Amino acid sequence: MAYTGIQNKTAIVTGAGEGIGYAIVEALLKQGARVILNDVNPQLAKEAAKEVSEKFNGDCLAFAGDAGSVEFIDQMVDFALSSFGRIDFIIPNAGITLFGDFLEFTPESFNRVVQLNLQGAFFLVQRAAKEMIKLKSGGKVVLLSSQVGIRAYRNLTTYAMTKAALRMMAINLAFELDKHHININVVAPGATLTERTRKEQPDYEGIWGKLNPNGRVGRPEDIANTCLFLLSDEASHINGQTISVDGGWTTAGKYPEDLN
Ligand SMILES: NC(=O)c1ccc[n+]([C@@H]2O[C@H](COP(=O)([O-])OP(=O)(O)OC[C@H]3O[C@@H](n4cnc5c(N)ncnc54)[C@H](O)[C@@H]3O)[C@@H](O)[C@H]2O)c1
């Protein structure tokens, strides 16, 4: 389906050299948007931007750097404005997952997770919103939360806190930015097969697919298609919401006998 309101719009997608972010860039390019593709890995960013531009005969520019750094975020937004003249869509997708026992978790690990997952998203949306307000153009934001930001999972307290906070950020900003015609929603993926998750667990699909009523894990395209919908005109009356894309994983309640 071709959504309206995507063609000729401009977007910044962070953490997009591979995985879910890359699929979001592909979905946007396919519908005729122009994209700044960010990744902390310069080689990956360059290759991914080239690959996707050629595939869709589109306009995708790499801008490599740490999406958790406020200084870098300013440079990236300046680059987007000098390249495209405007910014319509912001997708702060870059995020890190650090596992660890709560009692052992170090301030260094805590700060790494918070800096990218939360500070990166907050200040990218803040700076882009200022530009959208200046241009009176409005805009749309999609944040990447997680099922881990909705329910408790072992050894993921810090990550879970950041992913839950993003949902609250959307609720607050839907309220604060609506007068500027800036709309903000959240996608909460379940277990999704990416280069990273496959590396962490070679039989990721076999192991994690069992959790879902539909028997399979998510694909990056499942998440990207939901983002595309939320960015489109068709979703313009949806604001401040979180959509779970998890194959029904978290719909399942448990009876005592399920615990055996
Ligand atoms: N994969 C999943 O199962 C899953 C589930 C729920 C939520 N999520 C969320 O979705 C988003 C994307 O997940 P993913 O698994 O595709 O990501 P990923 O871990 O595969 O990373 C994607 C890209 O981000 C880049 N990156 C890492 N640190 C960066 C930084 N500081 N600045 C810029 N780029 C950086 C990496 O180099 C990589 O190319 C994340 O926010 C993640 O928390 C993923």
Residue 255 placed within a domain: no
Question: Could you tell me where the beta strands, DSSP code E, fall in 69-116?
Answer: 89-91
Q: How far does residue 94's CA lie from ligand 1's centre (Å)?
A: 5
- For residue 95, tell me if it sits in a domain: yes
Query: Contact at 8 Å (CB) between 118 and 162?
Result: yes
Q: Helix, strand or coil for residue 245?
A: strand
Would residue 3 show up in a list of annotated catalytic residues for this protein?
A: no
Among candidate residues 22, 53, 140, 163, the one labeled active-site is: 163
> CA 212 from chain center: how many Å?
22
- Distance from the CA of 210 to the center of ligand 1, in angstroms? 23
Model pTM score: 0.98
> Residue 172 maps to which CATH number?
3.40.50.720
Q: Is residue 212, in this structure, part of any structural domain at all?
A: yes
Cα separations in angstroms, 79 against 11, 133, 158, 187: 12, 18, 32, 26
Domain count, the chain: 1
Q: Which of 40, 156, 195 to mutate to test the pocket of ligand 1 (most atoms within 8 A of CB)?
A: 40
Q: What is the pLDDT of residue 35?
A: 98
Q: Which of the following is catalytic: 140, 159, 204, 232? A: 159
Atom of ligand 1 nearest to the CA of 19: 16
State how far the Cα of 163 lies from the Cα of 174, in Å rounded to an integer: 17
- Domain that includes residue 181, residue range: 10-250
Kindly report the protein residue whose alpha carbon is nearest to atom 25 of ligand 1. 15
What separation in Å is there between the alpha carbon of 234 and the centre of ligand 1? 27
Planar angle of CA 148, 154, 158, nearest 5 degrees:
60
Catalytic residue among 9, 22, 53, 145: 145
Digits of tens for pLDDT over the chain (260 positions)?
689 999 999 999 999 999 999 999 999 999 999 999 999 999 999 999 999 999 999 999 999 999 999 999 999 999 999 999 999 999 999 999 999 999 999 999 999 999 999 999 999 999 999 999 999 999 999 999 999 999 999 999 999 999 999 999 999 999 999 999 999 999 999 999 999 999 999 999 999 998 888 889 999 999 999 999 999 999 999 999 999 999 999 888 878 888 76
Residue ID of nearest Cα to ligand 1 atom 11: 93
Q: How far apart are CA 45 and CA 188, in angstroms?
A: 24
SS3 61: strand
Q: Is residue 22 in a domain? A: yes
